[in-house]
Each structure stands twice: as C-alpha cells, then as structure tokens.
Amino acid sequence: MSQTLILQPEAEPICYAAMLLSQGRLVGMPTETVYGLAADARSGAAVAAIYEAKERPAFNPLIIHAPDADAAAAIGVFTDEARALADAFWPGPLTLVVELRDGAGIASLATAGLSTVALRVPAHPVARELLRVFGGPLAAPSANPSGRISPTTARHVLDGLGERVAAVLDAGPCAVGVESTIIGLAGGAPTLLRPGGLPAEEIEAVLGRKLAAAPAHHKTPSAPGQLLSHYAPRARLRMNAEAPLPGEYMIGFGETPGDDTLSASGDLTEAAARLFDALHRADRDGRDIAVAPVPETRLGRAINDRLRRAAAPRG
Ligand code: TXA
Ligand code: MG
C-alpha cells in the first residue's frame, strides 16, 4: 500500500501534484472554502475515482474548478448576469451553474450527464497555482467521505480518506471554512442553490434583484447532492440550544458559552471558518452535540444550512 504524500504548498511539490493529476490520480487541494478532492475533469476514469474515494451513493454532479474566468467561459455559456457575478466575485467562494458548452471536453460523469455545469474560480493561491501548472479544469468536491463533515485542514482529509488520495497539499486551515455559494443561472431567475461562503446579500446587490429560493430539499436532478443529512457528524446534533442538556457537548456562539465556541465575539466570518473544525472536534468527543443559536444573516445562513443538515434525522 502506498502512503499518502503530504506536500508543502511550494513550486516543486505543486508541480508534482499536477503530474499526479495528469496521471489520473486524486490530490487534496486547499481552497479558501474547504479542501477539495481534485481530479482531471476531462478524464472519466479520474472522475470515477473521486466517487469511489468518497463512496458517494449517487453520481452527483461536481464543481469544476478553472484557473480564471476565461477558462471557465470556455466550458460554460455565460449570460450577462453570469458574467456580472464572475466579474464581481471571481476568484472567490462562488459557484455558477450555467449551460455546458458543446465540446467543452468535460467528462460526462463530472456533470452527471446534465446539460449544465457548476463552475468556480477559487481564490486560494495554492489552488490557483495548481490549476495553472496542471493546465486544465479540475473536478473537486469537498475531500470528505460522502455524508461526513467537510475538511478544513489537511489532517481532516487524511483522517477521512487516507490512502484513497495520492497526495494532499497542506496549506493550513481554510480561511472561509464553508463551501462556496452556488447560484443557478441556467434558465429562469437566478436561484440560490446552496448558501455558502459568499453572502447572498452581496450577490443580490450586484444583480439588483432578489435570488429565487432553491426548490425544497433539492432532490431533483437539477441539484442532487443537497440531501438534507449531507453534513453529518456521527452524534446527534441539536440547534438553537441556549444551554447543554445533561450529557451534551456544547458548541457556543457569542454570549452563549460551551465546551467550544464558533466565535466568542459573535463574528459570523470567524464562525464559518471554525464550523467544520468544531464539528470534527465534537465528533471526536462522542457526546451528543448542542449548538448555540446563530443569526440567520450573511454567513449565518450558510452556517445554519450546514447545521440543519447535520441535525437532520437519517436512516
Ligand atoms: O467550496 C466548494 O464549493 C468546494 C470546494 C472544494 O471548491 N466544493 C464543493 O463541491 O463543495 P461538492 O461537489 O461537494 O458540491 C457540489 C455541489 C452539489 O451540491 C451539487 O449538487 C451541485 O454542486 N452541483 C454541481 N453541478 C450542478 C449542476 N449542474 N446543477 C445544479 N447543482 C450542481
Ligand atoms: Mg461536500
């Protein structure tokens, strides 16, 4: 059995990671949101390895990462609104779902055979350098086993996927800490498919109109992978807790204390960056988890979305 390489985020190791990718191997890629499990998006076999490593129950479509907006526009068809959002927020924690271009060369498994494609230009310098050196699009879902908490450190990637990933570029903890905001722009009004690291309010300010809400629970083919219990710790999780019940591990926020806190000062940006790490720690503790109330504004929307999924009953 080969060991997973932990690579420093420097020029030579990044070249090595790009070579692994061109051989169809999987690489743990730091991004500003969460660590991604990257593979060559043009190779059906490489993309299949992602599903295999994550043990995804279904072939949900993946986000395709591009080095810049021009490269993204070679893959998807950008409407005026898509272009406005790309200009305003790329590189950054925003994913745009647009029509897939004919002959774009993306493996159909990466888009789950849909006529649309989810595109993102990440801001993390290591992700950008890896994309530049690799010279092609990278499919990269979060680098965790399906149904588990997303990774915000290289350690989380190794703990979850172990030797199923050839190498991990270790660039330290992710600054944003929750996945990208996903906006659907392929027909109809712009739709908030997934709240995430870019507040919806900022997107609405650029569009000059409100985003439509995603259809309930998102189990339709237009956005699979949004199953309610997607971000599950092993233990039961209770939201909006003012205090722990006996035997609960408490994650505080602001004034509400706990065994841990998302942000003692009530800062939503800090809370997003700490969320998955706090859930990983709680998971290791083993007790049931209680989480303090988090306001439903700005990044609080993404935080509460992930907490609702973690709290959802599952079979
Ligand atoms: O921050 C992020 O977005 C991270 C980092 C690694 O970039 N990536 C990530 O990818 O969260 P993933 O595969 O875990 O999430 C993909 C989401 C799924 O909910 C999927 O259903 C949705 O994007 N998606 C992908 N293609 C789609 C499409 N054509 N239409 C609608 N939703 C799509
Ligand atoms: Mg994920």
CA–centroid distance, 144 to ligand 2, in Å, is: 7
- What pLDDT, on a 0 to 100 scale, did the predictor assign at position 225? 43
Nearest to 133 by CA among 6, 5, 19, 44: 19
CA–centroid distance, 112 to ligand 1, in Å, is: 11
Nearest to 231 by CA among 173, 275, 197: 275
Mean pLDDT over 10-32 rounds to 98
Q: Is 272 in the pocket of ligand 1 (CB under 6 A)?
A: no
For residue 1, pLDDT over 80 is answered with no
For residue 149, pLDDT over 70 is answered with yes
- What pLDDT, on a 0 to 100 scale, did the predictor assign at position 221? 38
Among the bound ligands, name the one nearest to the CA of residue 306: 2
Provide, rounded to the nearest whole percent, the portion of the chain with pLDDT above 70. 93
For residue 2, pLDDT over 90 is answered with no
Q: Is 117 in the pocket of ligand 1 (CB under 6 A)?
A: yes
CA–centroid distance, 255 to ligand 2, in Å, is: 30
Mean pLDDT over 300-305 rounds to 90
CA–centroid distance, 309 to ligand 2, in Å, is: 12
Q: What is the mean pLDDT of the chain?
A: 91
Among the bound ligands, name the one nearest to the CA of residue 148: 2
pLDDT in tens, 46-95: 998 998 899 876 668 999 999 999 999 999 999 999 999 999 999 999 99
pLDDT in tens, 228-283: 555 678 889 999 999 999 999 999 999 999 999 999 999 998 898 888 889 989 98
The number of the ligand 1 atom at minimal distance from the alpha carbon of 117 is 29
Residue nearest to atom 9 of ligand 1 (CA): 141
DSSP 74: T
Residue with tokens 């993306």: 106
User: How many Cα atoms within 13 Å fall on the side-chain side of residue 222?
Assistant: 19
For residue 20, pLDDT over 50 is answered with yes
- What pLDDT, on a 0 to 100 scale, did the predictor assign at position 161? 96
Question: Which residues have beta carbons under 5 A from ligand 2 (an ion)?
Answer: 142
Asked if residue 208 lies in contact with residue 63, where contact means CB atoms within 8 angstroms, the answer is no
The number of the ligand 1 atom at minimal distance from the alpha carbon of 35 is 6
Among the bound ligands, name the one nearest to the CA of residue 37: 1
For residue 227, pLDDT over 90 is answered with no
The strand pair at 181-184 and 191-194 is best described as antiparallel
Q: Is 118 in the pocket of ligand 1 (CB under 6 A)?
A: yes
Question: Can you tell me the distance from the alpha carbon of 145 to that of 313, in angstroms, rounded to the nearest whole number?
Answer: 19
CA–centroid distance, 39 to ligand 1, in Å, is: 14
CA–centroid distance, 153 to ligand 2, in Å, is: 14
Residue 85 tokens, joined = 């959002």
Question: Can you tell me the distance from the alpha carbon of 28 to that of 165, in angstroms, rounded to the nearest whole number?
Answer: 7
Q: Is 62 in the pocket of ligand 1 (CB under 6 A)?
A: yes
Burial class (CB within 10 angstroms; exposed 0-12, middle 13-18, buried 19+) of 128: middle
